[in-house]
Structure 1
Amino acid sequence: MKKILNRIGGWLARRNPFLLIGITVVATIVGVAGGSAAMDYTMTEAFCTSCHEMRNNVYAEYGGSIHDTNRTGVRAICPDCHVPREPVDKWIRKVKAVGELYQHFVVGKIDTKEKFREHRAELATNVWTRMKETDSRECRHCHTATKMSSDLQTETAQARHEKGREEGLTCIDCHFGIAHNEPKGITPADIVVKQKL
């Protein structure tokens, strides 16, 4: 394949170097636009729920949760909580997700409700670990601690938030099981990680 491309490139360069430059520019634009369109599509709720594993398990649990339906009408969809917004981190997460797709679709690790339940704690641990490593970065895109009004919080919530700050806790340490059912036998407090941020 490399030889063929080299021959074509050499032939084009001998004929008209501007043609080679033009083809390269067009191919780059098409590649970037196509990659961007693919990235945008994979960040939609429709894409996230296109497989029955997600639609019938975690998405079914998400329905009616505070992140789906609430008094303000603001919704957090799958990528809001599970995919970074920063471009490099987003691409890294998407590349890692390809490995997860292999486990889900080729190996069939969670292709039935029973298998999903069996692996729920492992799956939750993976997500919670990522969230703890980034100091709940995805939560903080919508929930800004400096903009929270402690006056509107209960005394218990104020005390717990203060204690959490003192102990260096992150959002997911206390706020889990909000959009999905909790796995049995483990919580984010059981996971010890070195935070990256």
Structure 2
Amino acid sequence: MNKVLLLAKQLWQFLRRPSAKLSVGLILVVGFVSAFILHGTYSATMKYTSTLEFCSSCHTNDVVPEYQESVHFSNASGVQADCASCHLPKEFLPKMTRKIQASREVFAHFTGKVDTPEKFEAHRREMAEREWARMEANDSQECRNCHTQESMELSEQSLLAVKNHTAAEKNGETCIQCHKGIAHKLPDMTGVPGWE
């Protein structure tokens, strides 16, 4: 028993005053293990909070059903753009910025600001305009991750679409300027020029 107590006392003294070589090694090991755990937790959190399952946990009765009726959810090619494809940039800093902005939206849901379909509708235009402004500011990057002007098969488009896409490219317009409401119902646009 005395040996055990002596070993415990020596271990305690070692941990309180480790030698210079071991303290650097111990710090490196603890730092590496901590970084590994934090990175794994961060990656799992980022992945999960970018899934349709996560988004639909709050948006069950509003935008998810609209999205599920859109061509972005189901189409002849079988390619599906999920929520993150349109609402989350792929680049690290823009993605982190958007995740921080999205935490405001999660907070609004849990504090009751938009937790019912009626409350959501009351704020739909404000939220849509904020998202449209973000997409205009980044030249509809999320759209362009899948759709490129160069790969558009103009011969397969209607004459009006060809005319509009050609003019938009020439005038430096961005996708969201014309394609609002492509995956979600438009808010009440009363009073907005061009929407009457």
**Scaled by the length of structure 2, what TM-score is found?**
0.84
Cα RMSD (Å): 2.1
For residues 137 and 193 of structure 2, what CA distance do their matches in structure 1 show? 13
Q: Residues 6-17 of structure 1 correspond to what in structure 2 (within 5 A)? A: 11=16, 13-14=18-19, 16-17=22-23
Moved over 3 A (4+): 10-15, 186-190
Q: 1:14, 1:38 → 2: CA distance?
A: 38
Of 20, 25, 37, the residue aligned with 2:27 is 20
User: Which residue number corresponds to residue 89 of structure 1?
Assistant: 94
Q: In the alignment, does 2:133 pair up with 1:129?
A: yes
1:148 equivalent among 149, 152, 166: 152
User: 2:162 is matched with which residue: 158, 161, 180?
Assistant: 158
- Contact 1:57/1:113 (<8 A) preserved: yes
Structure 1 pair 121–24 and aligned structure 2 pair: CA distance change class (3 A): same
**Does 2:102 align with 1:78?**
no
1:79-118 equivalence runs, <5 A: 79-106=84-111, 108-118=112-122
Quote the offset at 1:187 in angstroms: 9.8
Q: With the length of structure 1 as denominator, give the TM-score of the two structures.
A: 0.83
Residues 40-79 of structure 1, C-alpha deviation per residue, up to 9 Å, x if partnerless? 111111111112xx11100011112111111111111100
Q: Which consecutive residues of structure 1, in runs of 5 or more, have no partner in the other structure?
A: 1-9, 191-197
Unaligned runs of 5+ in 2: 1-14
Which whole-Å CA distance do the structure 1 matches of 2:131 and 2:146 have between them? Answer: 18
1:65 is aligned, of 70, 74, 91, to 70
Which amino acid letter does the alignment assign opposite residue 70 of structure 1? N
Q: Give the counterpart of 1:44 among 27, 36, 51.
A: 51
Q: Which moved more, 1:134-143 or 1:42-51?
A: 42-51
User: 1:188 and 1:75, CA in 2 relative to 1: closer, same or farther beyond 3 A?
Assistant: farther
CA distance in structure 2 between the partners assigned to 1:11 and 1:56 by the alignment = 57
**What's the CA shift string for 1:143-162, capped at 9, x where partnerless?**
11111121222221111112
Change (3 A) 1:50 1:120: same
Change (3 A) 1:187 1:68: farther
